[in-house]
Structure 1
Amino acid sequence: MKNKKHGDGGAVGLCDKDPGLCRGDDNPSLPREARLPINRCNLPAVVLGSLTYQRHPSPLLLDGVAELHRDLFRRLGEAGDDAAVRGEVFRDYLTVHFQLEWPEEMGFTGNNKSRARANYARMIRGWSFDADSREGAVLKGWVESRFGLLPRWHGQPLRDTHDDAWLHYMEMRSQGLYGTSALEAQFDLVYTYCQHELARRHSGAGHVTLYRGVNRVADHEILDSREGGRHTILLNNLNSFTCSRDRACEFGDYILTVDMPLTKIFFHCGLLPGVLQGEDEFLAIGGVVDVTLSTI
């Protein structure tokens, strides 16, 4: 929480619940400039980034991950009910599959081995210190690629893909990916593993209540405001929240409360011990959401 700024069948089901959801560019929920027309999961950005999706979430499946990594999920199933064992299975699988401890085996021949050893854990830790860092740019870029949700903030507002702010974000993203072992493919597995674990721990649940300390709601993109501190806002494409209201109070004079679909949780504190330390932090994929603003 430090330095934080800001199959088609599933889509048909959501459109049946809200016929206005699939009107393309006329969709009032997710602005056109906040999304891409294509992505790499089973729902288009205009759907998964909408209010209707927040209220009625359905699984988000990244293209090809389950099929390409059947062996990992077979091993996780065989690991049984011990979350710590499943975590070790996951870590070992990624270490071997991406040759994380042997960069030369992946064809690395350069001198800067620190870049070759950049991995999912280091990227997530880097985010926890500064979401506007190079690591933050890589993670936001992954969300953009996989879910089609464009970042709205990286050190400064991102509104035009031709302006200097956007070019700086892209430069940081490229620098963060250069010389690494398929970092975005590592994130694919982190997200899928997180969803696997959430499904085990929260069977039947669709949402988790999360909090964010802010000094003013105007720091966010407000799409609508109503009585009782209720607002509809457009989140950045990746965001830090906490599951502890008391902890959120440490980061601002006001508290944003949101019912976040579990399917939008990329990572959370405790999923893999040692990756995120403290703050009960959750990394949540963005889009349009209803929130409640309250005082501490």
Structure 2
Amino acid sequence: MKNTDRQFFGEAPGCDNSPTLCRAADKEPTLPRDARLPINRCNLPAVILGSLSYQRHPAPLKLDGVEELHRDLLRRLDATPEPGRRAEIFQDYVTVHFCLDHLEEAGFSGGPKGRAKANYVRMLRGWSFDSDSREGAVMKGWVESRFGLLPRYHGEPLRDQGGTAYQRYVEMRAQGLYGTNALEAQLDLVYAYCQYEFARQQPGVSHLTLHRGVNHLGEHERLADGPGGRPVLLLNSLNSFTCNRERAGEFGDFILTLQVPVTKVLFHCRLLPGTLQGEEEFLVIGGVYGAECAFL
């Protein structure tokens, strides 16, 4: 076990020299300024929705204009009692609304169609295959745009917006969006539909217990110690978790367990059957989280 890993369990030598990691915080940690934007496109500012208080006491998150623009979809979903049929209605609606099967109607005027065919399904599958891919950059950029949470990692740490690593992320995001068909607006609908289904199928449920297997805990940004020495972490703007603790253990020597507000779930493997396979994956929007940490 590395010394940086031992710090998560209060075992690191020289703790008196690392007050941020080893002493109980005298005040609740907040979302750092360099991890958020001053504006976003939802009903709560990033400093609130990305806070530890929000993890504990979540409120509804609404993306600007999505419900107003897609009222017809919501009416059709409301009139459909079967979840499987609602998933079909959603997929059909997105296909028709964004002309995914008829790109010429969306303004495509010739040339290679590869980028024009990029859609929300490709982004979700690309993320699941490699979260540091071009698709991953698009997904993290969507969170940045809509919720104001800046990415903290994409292939390497992103701390300096003028640095090479951050510029590489921006370039990958731009490449992923270039020539596509309202890709971020498609992701808006995916999030809105995910939240609709949580409210419809699990009314009153505010949190999910989710797990993530990791190898080196010291690579995560730890802001403070919570009750019982549990770490308070700053997560990346978007993260993969699973609802299956045993499956999480296949991906690392340590398991992080979080109580995740359902409002911060972008997508999960059961939402649209056939989109993601295996791992019982949940895509979780980042910010500050109190976590439990266990060594396998």
d(CA) in 2 for partners of 1:166 and 1:272? Answer: 32
Q: 8 Å contact 1:229–1:292 — kept in the other structure?
A: no
Paired residue for 1:196? 196
Q: Say if 1:45 and 1:226 are closer, same or farther in 2 by CA, change over 3 A.
A: closer
Question: Could you tell me which amino acid in structure 1 is paired with residue 247 of structure 2?
Answer: R
Paired residue for 1:96? 96
Deviation string 1:138-186 (CA, Å, 9 cap, x unpaired) is 0000000000000000001111111111111011101111111100000
Paired residue for 1:4? none
Deviation string 1:15-59 (CA, Å, 9 cap, x unpaired) is xxxxxxxxxxx9941000000000000000000000000000000
Q: 8 Å contact 1:206–1:262 — kept in the other structure?
A: yes
Q: Which runs of 4+ in 1 moved over 3 A?
A: 226-229
The alignment-based identity, stated in percent, is: 65
d(CA) in 1 for partners of 2:155 and 2:78? Answer: 41
5+ residue gaps, structure 2: 1-26
d(CA) in 2 for partners of 1:149 and 1:227? Answer: 25
Q: 8 Å contact 1:118–1:180 — kept in the other structure?
A: yes
Paired residue for 2:254? 254
d(CA) in 2 for partners of 1:165 and 1:65? Answer: 33
The alignment partner of 2:110 has SS state of coil
Question: Could you tell me which amino acid in structure 2 is paired with residue 138 of structure 1?
Answer: V
d(CA) in 2 for partners of 1:27 and 1:97? Answer: 44
Paired residue for 2:121? 121
Q: How far has the Cα of 1:126 moved from its partner?
A: 0.2
Alignment of 1:219-238 (within 5 A): 219-225=219-225, 228=228, 230-238=230-238
Question: Could you tell me which amino acid in structure 2 is paired with residue 177 of structure 1?
Answer: L
Q: 8 Å contact 2:35–2:150 — kept in the other structure?
A: yes
Paired residue for 1:112? 112
Q: TM-score, normalised by structure 1?
A: 0.89
Q: How far has the Cα of 1:110 moved from its partner?
A: 3.3
d(CA) in 2 for partners of 1:129 and 1:241? Answer: 14
5+ residue gaps, structure 1: 1-25
The alignment partner of 1:116 has SS state of coil
d(CA) in 2 for partners of 1:145 and 1:211? Answer: 26
d(CA) in 2 for partners of 1:128 and 1:226? Answer: 31
Paired residue for 1:78? 79
- More displaced 10-residue stretch of structure 1: 49-58 or 194-203: 194-203
Alignment of 1:122-271 (within 5 A): 122-225=122-225, 228=228, 230-271=230-271
Q: Say if 1:106 and 1:128 are closer, same or farther in 2 by CA, change over 3 A.
A: same
Q: How far has the Cα of 1:228 moved from its partner?
A: 4.9
The alignment partner of 2:165 has SS state of helix
Paired residue for 1:13? none
Paired residue for 1:60? 61
The alignment partner of 1:115 has SS state of coil
Deviation string 1:187-218 (CA, Å, 9 cap, x unpaired) is 00000000000111221111000000011211
Question: Could you tell me which amino acid in structure 1 is paired with residue 34 of structure 2?
Answer: E
The alignment partner of 1:283 has SS state of strand
- More displaced 10-residue stretch of structure 1: 197-206 or 57-66: 197-206
Q: How far has the Cα of 1:227 moved from its partner?
A: 7.1
Q: 8 Å contact 1:116–1:179 — kept in the other structure?
A: yes
**Aligned Cα RMSD in Å?**
1.3
Q: TM-score, normalised by structure 2?
A: 0.89
